[in-house]
Amino acid sequence: MKKYSVGIDLGGTKILAGVVDKAEGKVLFEVKNKTKKEKGNKKVTAKIIETIEELFAGSNISKDEISSIGIGLAGQVERKEGVLINAVNLECGDLHIKQILEDKFSIPVNIGNDVEVATFGELKFGAGRGYKDIVCIFVGTGIGSSIVKDGKIHLGASQSAGEIGHIIVDLNGRACACGANGCLEAYASRSAIESRILGAVKKGRRSIITELTEGKNNISSKHIKKSLEAHDEVVTQFVNEATDYLSGGIASVINFYNPELIILGGGLIQSVDEFYLATIKKARAKALPTPALSIEFKKAALGDYSGVIGAALLEDRVL
């Protein structure tokens, strides 16, 4: 039996791919590329193929030793046929990525939603080991989540359960990329924080962020961390605002689902301790007393590799 698989985590700003030892849950070789300018079916497909080819070229593990390619995609997916139905942050829809890649590489391909896949990785080799009822929430370009019920990923009636980023937190609120208004993602994602900071700077407020980004409209989690360490007023204000909204969304999940564990991951969580700690403190305070007492919080233990490892294991999943 082949012991290696390729795992790919495709998000709104980057694609991370790795050759994974499935038995150990370890990434042996990786390739990372940016995807911010790659929008639409053709460009996204080309970037995935380019990344896989780069992975095979750089790894000392041959293509013949690879049992499967797994991909976690930032959007809604049809798993059996391997179709990316809708991905607002990638501007993709009706993309038959499984068929395209199988024709190209002659290796079985499996797909899943990116946070579902990351949750699968955490459940098998990370922070979720030993737990049965979990919600995993990743905060990045958008906000996604996945639900674990009785130790298995819960997909829901249309296989799209867990879209916490699109719960409504303000009925007449900000426009979201999905087309709705007032979604959590429009208030608490890194993109939302970036938009608020840039808007304030454009209106004349002074912030160290302009020096850190050299005047470019591209604010990373590391920029946010450095700004908070410098006690920057603008960045602190909008990070606090984001934790207010995110903690409210999490408190709603705690009250509704009553999980034993919530795993938080993504760039903001991993890089900015202040964001993580403030969010869980506020979530406990906002949730009902009984579930708030029992809830545990953990950071994703696999870090950036949650999605890569989880994707590599997709051939073994039980839906």
User: Does position 121 have pLDDT exceeding 70, yes or no?
Assistant: yes
Q: pLDDT grade, residue 75 (50/70/90)?
A: confident
Whether domain 4-121+305-316 has CATH 3.10.20.600: the reply is: no
The whole-number pLDDT of residue 80 equals 87
Q: What is the mean pLDDT of residues 267-273?
A: 92
User: Does position 122 have pLDDT exceeding 70, yes or no?
Assistant: yes
Q: pLDDT grade, residue 14 (50/70/90)?
A: confident
The reply to whether 4-121+305-316 and 131-300 are identical in fold is yes
d(CA 295, CA 264): 13
Which residues, in sequence order, are CB contacts of 177 under 8 Å at separation 6+?
Answer: 88, 89, 142, 185, 186
Q: What is the mean pLDDT of residues 255-272?
A: 95
The whole-number pLDDT of residue 147 equals 96
pLDDT tens-digit profile of 133-177? 999 999 988 899 999 999 999 999 988 899 999 999 999 999 998
Mean model confidence pLDDT for the chain: 93
Which residues, in sequence order, are CB contacts of 103 under 8 Å at separation 6+?
Answer: none
When comparing pLDDT for 204 and 74, which is higher?
204
The whole-number pLDDT of residue 177 equals 87
d(CA 297, CA 310): 20
Q: Environment class of residue 153 by beta-carbon count within 10 Å: exposed (0-12), middle (13-18) or buried (19+)? A: buried
User: Does position 19 have pLDDT exceeding 70, yes or no?
Assistant: yes
Of the chain, the percentage scoring pLDDT greater than 90 comes to 80
User: Where exactly are the structural domains of the chain?
Assistant: 4-121+305-316, 131-300
Q: What angle do CA 274, 275, 280 make, to 5 degrees?
A: 100
User: Does position 319 have pLDDT exceeding 50, yes or no?
Assistant: no
d(CA 34, CA 16): 9
When comparing pLDDT for 34 and 122, which is higher?
122
Q: Considering the domain 131-300 in this protein, what is its CATH number?
A: 3.30.420.40
The whole-number pLDDT of residue 316 equals 78
The whole-number pLDDT of residue 2 equals 81
Q: Which two tokens stand for residue 201?
A: 């700077």
Q: What is the mean pLDDT of residues 239-260?
A: 97
Q: What is the mean pLDDT of residues 21-30?
A: 94
pLDDT tens-digit profile of 27-67? 999 999 987 767 888 999 999 999 999 999 999 888 889 99
Q: pLDDT grade, residue 1 (50/70/90)?
A: low
Length of the chain: 319
